[in-house]
């Protein structure tokens, strides 16, 4: 069976290789990622993962896999860091606080069955000084990322506590992804 990865993220592709999965095709889905009014972060992440999977055309015998990682501070959905100013504001908001990294996965089996899973990881950052925030923003790795940071890089030094899926915070919870792929009939090493 062929697998289509509905993602533009090189991290998701890299994470899949850790569990022995190499997609046959990679297609970047084009969806509107604007939160709906009063949408809670958990529902938002699941909706986006599902819409991404459904946005990609699949041929007969193909399964589709998509994911979304959302950073939530309480009921507030934090945006990706589109600019350095936004990134600074996000890091100030996360400084010294716990937040949730919600990593949703959606798999569509060749028969059209849609399955979703969600990994909710609690991440606590140490209090960050203005100098630490400026240095992290200057390194460039968190720009464009959910919540303004990349846990697989320098931001990992800010994490004083993590409960849940480290790979989910990076972009694809491998335990949940493996289970979805197996349930969808995708076999791998």
pLDDT tens digits for the chain (189 residues)? Answer: 899 999 988 999 999 999 999 999 999 999 999 999 999 999 999 999 999 999 999 999 999 999 999 999 999 999 999 999 999 999 999 999 999 999 999 999 999 999 999 999 999 999 999 999 999 999 999 999 999 999 999 999 999 999 999 999 999 999 999 999 999 999 876
Whether 6 is in a domain gets the answer: yes
Of 14, 24, 30, 68, which residue is the catalytic one?
68
C-alpha span between 107 and 130 (Å, rounded): 41
Whether 188 is in a domain gets the answer: no
C-alpha span between 107 and 179 (Å, rounded): 10
Query: Residue 131 sits in which domain range?
Result: 2-183
- 177: domain CATH number is 3.90.950.10
Whether 189 is in a domain gets the answer: no
Place of tokens 């809670």: 40
Whether 159 is in a domain gets the answer: yes
- Quote the number of domains for the chain: 1
- What's the pTM value of the predicted model, to 2 decimals? 0.94
Residue 68 among the catalytic residues: yes
Give the closest residue to 16 by CA, choosing from 88, 91, 66, 80: 66
Whether 156 is in a domain gets the answer: yes
């Amino acid at each position: 069976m062929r697998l289509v990865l509905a993602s533009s993220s090189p991290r998701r592709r890299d994470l899949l290789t850790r569990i022995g999965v190499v997609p046959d095709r990679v297609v970047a889905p084009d969806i509107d990622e604007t939160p709906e009014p009063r949408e809670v972060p958990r529902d938002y992440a699941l909706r986006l993962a599902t819409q991404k999977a459904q946005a990609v055309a699949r041929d007969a015998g193909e399964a589709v896999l998509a994911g979304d990682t959302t950073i939530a501070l309480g009921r507030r959905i934090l945006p990706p860091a589109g600019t350095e100013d936004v990134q600074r504001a996000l890091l100030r908001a996360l400084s010294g606080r716990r937040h949730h990294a919600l990593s949703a996965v959606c798999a569509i089996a060749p028969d059209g069955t849609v399955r979703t899973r969600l990994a909710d990881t609690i991440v606590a950052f140490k209090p960050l000084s203005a100098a630490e925030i400026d240095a992290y923003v200057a390194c460039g790795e968190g720009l464009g990322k959910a919540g303004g940071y990349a846990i697989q890089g320098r931001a990992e030094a800010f994490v004083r506590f993590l409960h849940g899926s480290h790979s989910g915070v990076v972009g694809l919870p491998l335990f949940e992804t493996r289970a979805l792929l197996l349930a969808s009939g995708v076999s791998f090493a």
